[in-house]
């Protein structure tokens, strides 16, 4: 929460957002006053007296009335939630006052997707070339795929057959011919999978920096019999 406060306070131009401690009652009260004085300005200056007396016992009452007057949805929440709403409200007002100024502001974002340059040789294949037609002819004869004027359709048929029909055991003389390319494909697949898993792990670690808070309490422990 306190990081969020710092961010919003510095956006609003608070003189020392870095040192604000929301747990300190006095600091909390003076930030509320600062928000009303500088940003929200809901009351006339003379009506801010109740909030101005930050040492007074009646400050809390004034604060509660203030929140009711602003119709704060967080009025029933914790002190931090209340302050968070006030800060967000002030940010909203600040923005509304200077829409033109902020509208064009851009967040510097890292490029999400790099420009994809296809490295897949198949994308650059000339499907009308003689070499392609001859190649399709050759493999289709081996797999006994019937003729068709469009070699692309023949290739699609071949792909379907290869995917669905059972693969015969290669002949002893052809074992290497068949197994080597399939081993290469398996290795490439494993490499892709490794890259994917590494990205998953990185994502998990990134989330952990927000959520993780491992604790132990040795007082709870008990060794059994």
Partner 1 sequence: MVVRQYNEEIKYLEKINPYCWRIKKGFQPNMNVEGVFYVNSTLEKLMLEELRNCCRPGMSGGFLPGVKQIANVAALPGIVGRSVGLPDVHSGYGFAIGNMAAFDMDDPKSIVSPGGVGFDINCGVRLLRTNLHEKDVLPIKEQLAQSLFDHIPVGVGSKGIIPMNARDLEEALEMGMDWSLREGYVWAEDKEHCEEYGRMLNADPSKVSLRAKKRGLPQLGTLGAGNHYAEIQVVDEIFDKYAAGKMGIESIGQVCVMIHSGSRGFGHQVATDALVQMEKAMKRDNIETNDRQLACARIKSVEGQDYLKAMSAAANFAWVNRSSMTFLTRQAFAKQFKMAPDDLDMHVIYDVSHNIAKVEEHVVDGKLKTLLVHRKGSTRAFPPNHPLIPVDYQLTGQPVLIGGTMGTCSYVLTGTHQGMTETFGSTCHGAGRALSRAKSRRNIDYKEVLNKLETMGISIRVASPKLVMEEAPESYKNVTDVVDTCHAAGISKKTVKLRPIAVIKG
Structural contact between residues 22 and 80, judged by C-beta atoms closer than 8 angstroms? yes
211 makes contact with partner 1 (CB under 8 A) = yes
Nearer to partner 1 (CB atom), residue 104 or residue 216: 216
Nearer to partner 1 (CB atom), residue 96 or residue 206: 206
Structural contact between residues 178 and 170, judged by C-beta atoms closer than 8 angstroms? yes
Structural contact between residues 28 and 22, judged by C-beta atoms closer than 8 angstroms? yes
Structural contact between residues 138 and 145, judged by C-beta atoms closer than 8 angstroms? no
CB of 19 to partner 1, least distance (A): 28
Chain-centre distance of CA 35, in angstroms? 31
Which of 27, 24, 64, 25 lies closest to 9, judged by CA? Answer: 27
212 makes contact with partner 1 (CB under 8 A) = yes
CB of 3 to partner 1, least distance (A): 18
200 makes contact with partner 1 (CB under 8 A) = yes
What is the maximum alpha-carbon separation in the chain? Answer: 100
Which of 175, 126, 116 lies closest to 152, judged by CA? Answer: 126
Q: How many residues interact with partner 1 (rule CB under 8 A)?
A: 26
103 makes contact with partner 1 (CB under 8 A) = no
167 makes contact with partner 1 (CB under 8 A) = no
Of residues 176 through 195, those in contact with partner 1 by CB under 8 A are 186, 190, 193-194
Structural contact between residues 36 and 43, judged by C-beta atoms closer than 8 angstroms? yes
197 makes contact with partner 1 (CB under 8 A) = yes
220 makes contact with partner 1 (CB under 8 A) = yes
- Give residues in contact with partner 1 (CB under 8 A): 186, 190, 193-194, 197, 200-202, 204-205, 207-208, 211-218, 220-225
């Amino acid at each position: 929460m306190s990081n969020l406060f710092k961010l919003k306070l510095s956006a609003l131009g608070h003189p020392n957002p870095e040192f604000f401690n929301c747990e300190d009652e006095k600091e909390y009260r003076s930030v509320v006053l600062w928000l009303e004085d500088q940003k929200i300005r809901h009351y006339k200056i003379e009506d801010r007296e109740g909030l101005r007396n930050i040492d007074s016992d009646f400050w809390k009452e004034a604060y509660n009335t203030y929140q009711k007057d602003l119709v704060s949805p967080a009025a029933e929440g914790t002190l931090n939630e209340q302050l968070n709403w006030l800060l967000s409200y002030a940010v909203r007002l600040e923005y509304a006052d200077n829409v033109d100024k902020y509208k064009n502001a851009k967040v510097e974002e890292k490029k999400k997707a790099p420009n994809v340059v296809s490295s897949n040789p198949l994308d650059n294949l000339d499907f009308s070339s003689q070499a392609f037609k001859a190649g399709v002819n050759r493999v289709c004869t081996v797999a006994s795929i019937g003729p068709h004027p469009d070699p692309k359709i023949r290739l699609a048929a071949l792909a379907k057959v290869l995917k669905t029909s059972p693969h015969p055991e290669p002949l002893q003389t052809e074992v290497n011919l068949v197994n080597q390319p399939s081993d290469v494909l398996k290795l490439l697949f494993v490499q892709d999978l490794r890259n994917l898993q590494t990205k998953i792990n990185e994502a998990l670690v990134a989330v952990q920096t927000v959520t993780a808070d491992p604790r132990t309490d040795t007082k709870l422990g008990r060794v059994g019999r």
